[in-house]
Chains A and B, each alone.
Chain A
Amino acid sequence: MTLQELRTMREAGKKAMERRIVEGKTIEIVVGMGTCGIAAGAKETLDAFVDELTSKDVKNVVIKQTGCMGFCHSEPTVEVHMDGMPDIIYGNVDVETARQIVHSHILEKRLVDKHVFDRPAKDIVKEK
């Protein structure tokens, strides 16, 4: 193996490996994976998060699953916890919304207003 091949192999595996390390990950995305969530497409949502975070090279996010969150009519639901932002629950998060959450909420610290489920306070969320 040449030096270049070694480096390529290291880079190729690094991202996947980083997902195994939890230290230093401050942002948490929790996807509701109850029966209703899965039926509503929570699995695809979860995949979209993994995919988007990997392709944007965002490292400090940990994605977790949880059971039913009790908002069955708005599944898939997703909670996002991060410093400098209120804890938010998003409802009806399809693949497109998942990508939007990564862009706006996580990278730009802007809420994805249309999907905020548990509205924290009027002054944070702009009425549309």
Chain B
Amino acid sequence: MALNNYCLVCGGTGCESSKSDEIYKKLKEHAEKAGISKQVQIVKTGCFGFCEKGPIVKILPDESFYVEVKPSDAEQIVNEHLVKGRPVHSLLYKTSDQVAAKSEADIKFYQKQVRIVLRNCGIIDPENVQEYISRDGYAALEKVLFEMTPEQVIDELKKSGLRGRGGAGFPTWLKWSSTRKTPADQRYVICNADEGDPGAYMDRSTLEGDPHSVLEAMTIAGYAQGATKGFIYIRAEYPLAIHRLEVAMKQSREMGLLGKNILGSGFDFDVEIRLGAGAFVCGEETALMQSIEGKRGMPVPKPPFPSESGLWGKPTSINNVETYANVPVIILKGGDWFASIGTATSKGTKVFALTGAINNSGLVEVPMGTTLREIVYDIGGGIKGGRAFKAVQSGGPSGGVLSAEFLDTPIDYESLTKLGSMMGSGGLIVMSEDDCIVDVVRFYLEFSVEESCGKCAPCRIGGRKLLNLIEKVTKGNATLEDIDTMRQISFAMQRASLCMLGGTTPNPVLSTLKYFEKEYMAHIVDKKCPAGKCKDLVTYSIDQEKCIGCTVCARKCPQNCIAGERKLPHEIDQSRCIKCGACYEACKFGAVLVS
């Protein structure tokens, strides 16, 4: 009998951590019991992107989009929906006006997205190569091996305008072409899957949801550059992505899609996985290659560039996961097609991991040139709890913070750099009026200082000094001179650091000094933290008029420093208060004041 339904269960890391695997097994079990296991195909896919609402189960062709599914819901999904064709209303995604979405098309989160990189995520079973192949998988490899010369492949990439998605935005074709042109007996291609930015998980999701797309692209890269060996450098903290890659590599080898004489073309190529220990600096290309060679992962000066002398002194090209994932589509649909999407200088799409004070956090893929406003309000559904928007941080610890006046900036490499931020690898952290900018900068500086390899002085010493100064600001002890000093250190680090870790560490400082100077001044001059985040600058007190003496705060206070009779106004003993904010959270009458 023919298949009637597909039941797609998200098997991304986010949903797996909330039991999607159990849901998957239960669905299979109940389908078996109901005697419909032949009519329904239950598939575990990669991330759907809408991780905020996970675990997600999608029924096709009805397009029912079930969110926050629990293993105990499996029975109802099978017996009601799959057997009787009646969608389980209570599990359907509800739009902002509480209407159940009939399909993905009704869900605003998806409406402005264009999926090239994530084309197979949430559609195919990543552990089944046949499904990848059925979605035009390995068709680009076929075309390249049998119909194109290496030069033509590089030309197609040139036409497409594809630039590196790992941060710097270097034209991919140029990298490949330089590597190809350096005479050598061996060349290497590397996939950078180190993804160390806090909050970023684009590359992880791509590998988990569609590992073959990266393997296919690396093989194409090998052919175009005359390399027979590839490495995937991935952090050991990504067990699911590693597992899916290993499964994919095994299948590809068995099918002759990796290894000797691929598809009978005479071209040999194979890939090896190398695990990283999770140091941020190991994502930097020269440090990464040191690490693959078995040395300590520390950056070395450029030039020579990897395309001249990379891994073991051989010409090497290194690309990011997302950069690779675009390649097969460009080969199949043509460089011109790709170049028709995006802005004048930045083509195609970009995947962002949207997090922070936003209603719909998740993984989103949008055409270059989409504005921050569209991402924050249309896709992201606005700020949590109806709070006011304050800023967006892009580019992780190397990036900057943009204020509300830039919400309508079309996002591409150039526009973000011009504003003192960076495309980076794609983390987008949204902040509301409840977030303190200085505190956020402190977080990123702490991260960069922690991750500095210590090899060069500007980064090692400068970073530490910057952090000390920022901490002074959060404590209300900084002076206006300190701001000047911060600027000077920043400029020195930008110029003199050996690698871009040190070179970009000051970015969060400089961009916030530019766009949020007022907030620094509040900390320095008025000794106040407007968002109430910097503990040393906050006092909690109880409004004697509003307090009805319900005693709730006194019971919640970990210091036991709130006193008062029942039904009479309470008071805080400031000398013992540790500013934990528990009383503020607890009071239902708005009687606890923060200042």
The contact string, 1 if C-beta is below 8 Å from chain A, for chain B 1-18, is 111111010000000000
Residues of A close to B354: CB separation below 8 A: none
Given A17-B135, A22-B103, A46-B4, check contact A67 B86 (CB 8 Å): yes
Does A73 touch B at the CB level, under 8 Å? no
Minimal beta-carbon separation of B355 from chain A (angstroms)? 27
CA distance A10 to B264 in the complex (A): 17
Instruction: Find the residue from A9, A12, A34 having the highest chain B CB count within 10 A.
Output: A9
CA distance A19 to B6 in the complex (A): 9
**Closest partner residue, chain A, to B58 (CB atom):** A20
Say whether B4 contacts A20, CB under 8 Å.
no
The contact string, 1 if C-beta is below 8 Å from chain B, for chain A 1-26, is 11100110110111011011110000
For chain A, residues 23 to 64, give those with C-beta under 8 angstroms from any C-beta of chain B. 31-35, 38, 43, 46-47, 50-51, 54, 62-64
The contact string, 1 if C-beta is below 8 Å from chain A, for chain B 111-143, is 000000000000110000011011111110010
Given A50-B2, A67-B85, check contact A17 B134 (CB 8 Å): yes
CA distance A64 to B61 in the complex (A): 6
**Closest partner residue, chain B, to A37 (CB atom):** B85
Does B60 touch A at the CB level, under 8 Å? yes
Residues of A close to B103: CB separation below 8 A: 22
Given A33-B85, A54-B2, A67-B86, check contact A10 B134 (CB 8 Å): yes
Does A74 touch B at the CB level, under 8 Å? no
Tally of B interface residues using CB under 8 Å: 35
Say whether B8 contacts A20, CB under 8 Å.
yes
Tally of A interface residues using CB under 8 Å: 34
Minimal beta-carbon separation of A27 from chain B (angstroms)? 12
Say whether B84 contacts A64, CB under 8 Å.
no
Given A47-B1, A63-B61, check contact A35 B134 (CB 8 Å): no
Say whether A65 contacts B263, CB under 8 Å.
no
CA distance A17 to B5 in the complex (A): 12
Say whether A6 contacts B84, CB under 8 Å.
no
Does A66 touch B at the CB level, under 8 Å? yes
Minimal beta-carbon separation of A10 from chain B (angstroms)? 5
Does B578 touch A at the CB level, under 8 Å? no
- Lowest 10 CB-CB distances: which A-B pairs, in order? A13-B134, A65-B85, A33-B85, A17-B134, A67-B86, A50-B2, A1-B256, A1-B255, A62-B61, A64-B62
Binding site for A on B (CB under 8 A): 1-6, 8, 60-63, 84-86, 103-105, 123-124, 130-131, 133-139, 142, 146, 255-257, 263-264
What are 21 of the A-B contact pairs (CB < 8 Å)? A1-B256, A1-B263, A2-B263, A3-B142, A3-B146, A3-B263, A9-B134, A10-B133, A10-B139, A13-B130, A13-B134, A16-B134, A17-B131, A20-B60, A20-B123, A22-B103, A38-B84, A43-B4, A46-B4, A47-B1, A50-B2
